[in-house]
Amino acid sequence: MQGLLKQASVSGRNISRSRAACDFRSELRETLRWRGVCGGLLWGAVVVLAVAAPVAAEKVAGAPAASAPAAASAPAATSGAVASPQVVVVEAFNANLLDLLQKSDSLDQKGRSDLLRPSLERSFDLDFMAQKVLGRGWKELTPEQQKTWRDSFTGLMTENYAGRFVGWADQSFETIDEAEAGRGTVLVRTRLHVPGEEDVSLDYRLRETPNGWRVIDVFLNGTVSELALRRAEYSGVLKRDGFDALILAVNGKREELAAAGS
């Protein structure tokens, strides 16, 4: 694992750098567009269901709104300063994403998923996210169904990241700042630098758990909430078609992502 750095930057191969940067940019943009279980990739406001996400998220106790909350920012720790626990979590995950990018060309989809999954499980509160994505429907599931959903949800997240963060082009992450975000949460703002391309803002919202601070949402450019958009889609599938249909659709998407990334 790379060290926890304020700016996690690693030099890499220069072969086909422009092409790789372009390919990565295209993949990242596609990744950050959620089209739901039935026909697309993770993350994106393409489906009309996403319009309802802000209201849905705000009604969930402890869940983030659909856009990054406005809050007074504290400057990111300067060189030599001790980073906050929240920043440590985010920078460790971003460092793992860079490690994945560097190794992506030499690994198949399974290898990339195996490499990334431990980092996701350490950095994200996946149980919390799995519950909030289903909204009130979560409480209607049996304990066995809840476990099945958590496993499918975690697998889908892993396959998506592993399939989309591909193509090393000397990318780097920079931590911008951190801020209180309400309801006991903290927002850590970061920026992904892609040489020759426009920077991409990725902001992480974290809450404190018995196991430490964990990510519960990610915002693209301060507006697109992963958790809210996923809830708008998944809770609707569960309510409309039932649990078995939801799991079938999610596992089908996982298989599709795995095949596409191999």
Question: Residue 167 in contact with residue 19, Cβ under 8 Å?
Answer: no
Nearest alpha carbon to residue 208 among 125, 94, 87: 125
Per-residue pLDDT, 70: 52
Domain membership flag for residue 204? yes
Nearest alpha carbon to residue 221 among 205, 240, 199: 199
Residue 107, pLDDT > 70, answer yes
Sign of CA pseudo-dihedral 191, 192, 195, 196: negative
Least reliable range by pLDDT among 54-63, 112-121, 171-180, 183-192:
54-63
Least reliable range by pLDDT among 5-9, 61-65, 192-196, 250-254:
5-9
CATH number at residue 23: 3.10.450.710
**How many domains, the chain?**
1
Domain membership flag for residue 250? yes
Residue 115, pLDDT > 60, answer yes
Looking at per-residue pLDDT, the higher value among 189 and 17 belongs to 189
Looking at per-residue pLDDT, the higher value among 49 and 197 belongs to 197
Domain membership flag for residue 207? yes
Give 175's pLDDT tier (boundaries 50, 70, 90): very high
Domain membership flag for residue 1? no
Domain membership flag for residue 7? no
Q: Which domain holds residue 55?
A: 12-261
Domain membership flag for residue 4? no
| 130-158 tens-digit pLDDT | 999 999 999 999 999 999 999 999 999 99
Spatial separation of the C-alpha atoms in residues 231 and 190, rounded to whole Å? 24
Nearest alpha carbon to residue 94 among 258, 227, 218, 228: 218
Per-residue pLDDT, 68: 61
| 49-65 tens-digit pLDDT | 232 333 334 444 454 44
Per-residue pLDDT, 85: 97
Per-residue pLDDT, 155: 93
